[in-house]
Amino acid sequence: MQIGRFPYGCDASVRDLADVMTRAGIPVETTDCIKGKLWSKNLINCSLNPLSAITGVTYGRLREPGSWQIIEHLVQEIYAVVQADGIRLQWPDPDTFLGYLHGAMIPVMASHTSSMLQDILHGHPTEIDYLNGAVVTLGRQLGIATPCNALISDLIRFQESIAAGTSAGPSH
């Protein structure tokens, strides 16, 4: 677990909380860039979860060329948005992240499906508005086009509406 003062910073009270949690058996690190850490986690989730939910496949299948090309587009848009907002991610550029995702992250989770797919299958709302939808919203505020993230968000909302028996409107 990592904690810090949002959006940036770390002070004595954050370090004290980390010490208390660590002594209680919960390993905690402090960071002065918690916003970047949150967006780094969001990047992973945006890249994998909705595509797994839309296709119904495991994460391992997402390394196949057709889906990998979609992931590349999603990641390029996300990097354009977060870099324009001055957010520092854990990986310096899209290619470094994609290499990590393809070579390290997906192999560990290859047989898993996304929780977003489980939400849709059970008729529960997903977190799409906090993932790819947040990219679209921030992109719109910064004047950066995010058509791939918008399409993925709309497709998930459509699946949610089918599961719920309602009609979903577009995100834009």
Q: Write out the catalytic residue numbers.
A: 41
Amino acid at 27: P
**Tally of CB atoms within 10 A around 58:** 16
Distances (CA, A) of 36 to 77, 83, 88, 89, 115: 16, 10, 5, 5, 23
Contacts of residue 119, Cβ cutoff 8 Å, sequence gap at least 6: 53, 125, 126, 127
Q: Where are the beta strands (DSSP E) in the chain?
A: 2-3, 29-30
CB 47 within 8 A of CB 136: no
Rounded to whole angstroms, how far apart are CA atoms 78 and 118? 24
- Supply φ then ψ for residue 11, to 5 degrees: -130, -175
Q: Record the tokens describing residue 89, joined without a space.
A: 């991610």
